[in-house]
């Protein structure tokens, strides 16, 4: 007997259903099927994950996915979700797995922070009429600049990364997402003048032509890391942790390790790709320093090296250590960051919000007078341009986004990435599903999204009377908290609204 | 001339091209009415062949030297010298289906008269191309003998 009740219900408007069978052929979870008459479409609701592929593709909008309306005796503690999870574990004996990001209603500080605007005493700027600079440079900055008498720069600059927008695409490995999804991001990054990130799964040969807008990751599994990989990028990122699952490594199930994935990762086909929880050669900041400088040496000091850590309890001290270890860019990934698969308990309970981690780290680096030596990149769920503007005012040089572009490409947050059955062709390696994501279309949608965000960022900057994103960076005077405690305000380093 | 080109690597086997072809060639032009209530039921001029792994939408190639036109015994099937579009003049077609028998790509559908793709001349862009969710069908200039 199945103890679990279905989560969703498929409502088919039979007066509109034309039995074209698009839903039947499109559902990788095999929810929809034809009755023996070959005309009536039926549904096995227990398999539905609410990815909305059927409802979206249905030419007559005859399908509606609804929550399965099962009444439970109300209990504030033993909610239906809690009971369902217990039933699932009682049945399988396994660790609960989920995709995407933290699903618990923790406070979202972005929604408790307000932005400033100019009135009377300093004029606001209209970005449609006046130049507005959102170009961003990442990399280690010199403490001071010296010039020759002829005005030429004397100080030797470390390699800098020029971005036309402070928005980059976060690491999503080939394996966790499809080649087409990665290619869409790469194409979009090139058009937008920003970077995409290969993730820890090596680089597919088909993406080599996009190496001028690639960030390559070196993670604990060291999948696909070799000389050419390190040289074909704009910067190298050492992944220590991931916001969605701090403290554990990635696990790509063998089913997703196809020939292509196995080639890119340099592992046998069909074998589980398990990234160890730690880097087994990094047990201290000193060890990390060795890896950072090894990578710099390997690339003739031409590539900046970034270190990505998950936002955890004492992350500001860690960021300071990482900066001193020689990282040019420090990436912090908050607990709302996404993943292709993580144990649900870890996803939902480990780590801290990026808002607090970012503010604390920026403040710590400033207190230690080393803020200028590194670029800070924030990651972990930026839902819109306002979140990004707030992050930059809290001290980020740039941000990483991934979930938002995935949504632009069709993701409906069904959180089943770990099953490899993604109906949108994103988190899957099955050829019949991968081809559903046409990079020609999808890169345009991602470009549209980020272009729209760029416009909005410029509008908000103009409203604040700023004409450059550099004037906003770490400018917490532009932020006010609303409904926050004194403690929260002091960690964020901002005043309350009205102050 | 411009033709509909199918890119099989992108075909989803969703068959929406068939649905919207039927709709575009229906009386009501309404997707639900066209499929549920119209009699005679409109016929799709495009067919998706294959399965979920490998599929491709096949429709008339509007050949430079069309076998169907050469074979037509009444002159109903004709190739427009200007646009290059091969279409069937239903007022002259007697439904003998010789065209169907000789078509090398199997793109003529049986009905009271022969039914085939007209590249949605009235609306400009073919309905199959306009409604393909994955741009597996594109309407592009491919040369050919039409002026």
How many C-beta neighbours within 10 Å does residue B49 have?
A: 14
Give a yes or no: residue B146 inside a domain: no
For residue A345, pLDDT beyond 80: yes
Closest chain A residue by Cα to residue B18: A20
pLDDT tens digit sequence for A454-481: 999 999 999 999 999 999 999 999 999 9
Q: Which pLDDT value is given to residue B147?
A: 44
Whether A26 sits inside 8 A of B35 (CB atoms) is: no
For residue A433, pLDDT beyond 80: yes
Total count of domains within chain B: 2
Mean pLDDT, rounded, for A245-270: 89
B97/B133 same-domain check: no
Least Cα separation, residue A22 to chain B (angstroms): 5
Chain A hits for B53, CB-CB cut-off 8 Å, are 431-432
DSSP conformation letters of B94-124:
----HHHHH-TT---B-SSS-B---TTTTTS
pLDDT tens digit sequence for B25-66: 999 999 999 999 998 899 999 999 999 999 999 999 999 999
Nearest-CB residue to A18 (from B9, B12, B35): B35
For residue B146, pLDDT beyond 90: no
Place of tokens 């030797």: A156
Give a yes or no: residue B91 inside a domain: yes
In angstroms, rounded to a whole number, what is the distance separating the alpha carbons of residues A170 and A180? 16
In angstroms, rounded to a whole number, what is the distance separating the alpha carbons of residues B131 and B110? 24
Q: Which residues of A touch B (CB under 8 A)?
A: 15-16, 18-22, 25-26, 57, 59-60, 431-432, 435-436, 438, 440-441
Q: Where are the domains of chain A?
A: 8-72, 136-496
In angstroms, rounded to a whole number, what is the distance separating the alpha carbons of residues A432 and B13? 9
Residues shown for chain B: 147
pLDDT tens digit sequence for B112-143: 899 999 999 888 899 999 999 999 999 998 87
pLDDT tens digit sequence for A273-325: 889 999 999 999 999 999 999 999 999 999 999 999 999 999 999 999 999 99
In angstroms, rounded to a whole number, what is the distance separating the alpha carbons of residues B70 and B57? 25
Place of tokens 């986004």: A401
Nearest-CB residue to A57 (from B18, B20, B133): B133
For residue B145, pLDDT beyond 80: no
B16/B43 same-domain check: yes
Least Cα separation, residue B64 to chain A (angstroms): 30
B47/B83 same-domain check: no
Name which residue leads in pLDDT, A342 or A292.
Answer: A292
Give a yes or no: residue B122 inside a domain: no
For residue A9, pLDDT beyond 60: yes
Chain A hits for B14, CB-CB cut-off 8 Å, are 22, 25-26, 57
* Mean pLDDT score across all residues of chain B: 92
CATH of A136-496, one of 1.10.3720.10, 3.90.1170.50, 3.30.470.20, 3.20.20.70: 3.20.20.70
The band of B144, judged by pLDDT with boundaries at 50, 70 and 90, is low
Domain of B106: which CATH number?
A: 3.30.70.20
Sign of CA dihedral A235, A239, A240, A244: positive
Instruction: Indicate the pairing of strand A495-496 with strand A479-481.
Output: parallel
pLDDT tens digit sequence for A169-215: 999 999 899 999 999 999 999 999 999 999 998 999 999 999 999 99
* Mean pLDDT score across all residues of chain A: 94
In angstroms, rounded to a whole number, what is the distance separating the alpha carbons of residues A440 and A112? 38
Q: Which pLDDT value is given to residue A300?
A: 94
Whether B16 sits inside 8 A of A22 (CB atoms) is: yes
Name which residue leads in pLDDT, A253 or A139.
Answer: A139
pLDDT tens digit sequence for A377-392: 999 989 999 999 999 9
In angstroms, rounded to a whole number, what is the distance separating the alpha carbons of residues B144 and B84? 8
B3/B40 same-domain check: yes
Which of A19, A436, A442 is most worth mutating to test chain B (most B CB atoms within 10 A of its CB)?
Answer: A436
Q: Which pLDDT value is given to residue A273?
A: 87
Q: Which pLDDT value is given to residue A410?
A: 94
Whether residue B47 contacts residue B57, with contact meaning beta carbons closer than 8 Å, is answered with: yes
Q: Which pLDDT value is given to residue A254?
A: 85
B54/B93 same-domain check: no
Give a yes or no: residue B123 inside a domain: no
Place of tokens 């997402």: A177
Domain extent, residue B92, equals: 67-116
Mean pLDDT, rounded, for A123-146: 92
Q: How many helices (H) and strands (E) does chain B have?
A: 5, 6
Residues in contact with B32: Cβ distance below 8 Å, sequence separation at least 6, in sequence order:
A15, A16, A18, A60
pTM above 0.90, yes or no: yes
Indicate the class that CATH gives domain A8-72: alpha beta
DSSP conformation letters of A310-359:
E--TTHHHHHHHHHHTT-SEEEEE-TT---S-EEHHHHHHSS--HHHHHH
pLDDT tens digit sequence for A69-98: 889 999 999 999 999 999 999 999 999 988
In angstroms, rounded to a whole number, what is the distance separating the alpha carbons of residues A354 and A400? 12
């Amino acid at each position: 007997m199945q103890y679990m009740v279905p989560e969703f219900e498929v409502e088919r408007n039979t007066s509109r259903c034309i039995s074209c069978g698009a839903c039947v052929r499109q559902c990788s979870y095999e929810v929809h099927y034809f009755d023996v008459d070959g005309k009536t479409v039926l549904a096995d609701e227990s398999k539905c994950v609410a990815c909305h592929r059927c409802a979206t593709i249905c030419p007559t909008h005859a399908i509606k996915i609804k929550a399965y309306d099962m009444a439970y005796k109300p209990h504030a503690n033993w909610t239906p979700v809690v009971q369902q999870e217990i039933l699932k574990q009682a049945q399988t004996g396994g660790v609960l797995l989920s995709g995407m990001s933290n699903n618990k209603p923790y406070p979202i500080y972005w929604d408790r922070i307000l932005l400033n605007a100019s009135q009377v005493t300093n004029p606001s700027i209209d970005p449609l009429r006046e130049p507005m600079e959102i170009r961003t440079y990442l990399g280690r900055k010199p403490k001071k600049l010296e010039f020759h008498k002829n005005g030429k720069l004397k100080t030797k600059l470390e390699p800098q990364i020029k971005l036309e927008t402070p928005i980059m695409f976060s690491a999503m490995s080939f394996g966790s997402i499809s080649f087409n999804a990665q290619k869409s991001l790469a194409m979009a990054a090139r058009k937008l003048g920003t970077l995409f990130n290969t993730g820890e799964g090596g680089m597919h040969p088909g993406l080599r032509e996009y190496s001028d807008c690639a960030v390559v990751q070196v993670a604990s599994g060291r999948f696909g890391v070799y000389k050419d990989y390190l040289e074909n990028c704009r910067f190298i990122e050492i992944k220590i942790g991931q916001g969605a699952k701090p403290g554990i490594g990635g696990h790509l199930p063998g089913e997703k390790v196809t020939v292509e994935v196995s080639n890119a990762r340099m592992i046998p086909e069909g074998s589980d790709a398990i990234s160890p929880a730690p880097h087994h050669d990094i047990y201290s900041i000193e060890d990390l320093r060795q890896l950072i400088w090894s990578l710099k040496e390997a690339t003739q000091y031409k590539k900046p090296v970034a270190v990505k850590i998950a936002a955890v309890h004492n992350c500001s001290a860690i960021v300071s250590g990482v900066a001193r270890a020689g990282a040019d860019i420090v990436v912090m990934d908050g607990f709302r960051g996404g993943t292709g698969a993580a144990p649900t308990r870890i996803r939902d309970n480990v780590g801290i919000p990026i808002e607090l981690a970012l503010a604390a780290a920026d403040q710590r680096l400033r207190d230690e007078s080393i803020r200028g030596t590194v670029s800070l990149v924030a990651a972990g769920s930026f839902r819109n341009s306002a979140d990004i503007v707030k992050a930059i005012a809290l001290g980020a040089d740039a941000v990483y986004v991934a979930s938002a572009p995935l949504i632009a490409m069709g993701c409906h947050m069904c959180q089943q990435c770990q099953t490899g059955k993604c109906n949108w062709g994103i988190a899957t390696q099955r050829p019949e599903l991968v081809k559903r994501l046409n990079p020609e279309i999808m890169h345009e949608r991602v470009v549209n999204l980020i272009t729209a965000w760029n416009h909005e960022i410029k509008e908000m900057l103009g409203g604040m009377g700023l004409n450059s994103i550099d004037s906003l960076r770490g400018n917490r005077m532009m932020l006010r908290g609303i409904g926050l405690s004194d403690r929260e305000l002091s960690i964020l380093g901002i005043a309350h609204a009205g102050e | 001339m411009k033709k509909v080109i199918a890119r099989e690597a992108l075909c989803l086997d969703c068959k929406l091209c068939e649905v919207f072809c039927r709709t575009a060639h229906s009386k009501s032009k309404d997707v639900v009415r066209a499929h549920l209530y119209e009699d005679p039921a409109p016929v799709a001029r495009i067919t998706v062949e294959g399965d979920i792994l490998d599929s491709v939408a096949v429709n008339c190639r509007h050949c430079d030297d069309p076998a169907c036109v050469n074979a037509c015994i009444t002159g109903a099937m004709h190739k427009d010298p200007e646009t290059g579009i091969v279409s069937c003049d239903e007022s002259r077609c007697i439904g003998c289906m010789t065209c169907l028998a000789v078509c090398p790509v199997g793109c003529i559908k049986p009905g009271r008269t022969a039914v085939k793709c007209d590249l949605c001349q009235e609306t400009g862009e073919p309905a199959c191309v306009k409604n393909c969710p994955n741009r597996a069908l594109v309407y592009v200039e491919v040369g050919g003998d039409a002026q």
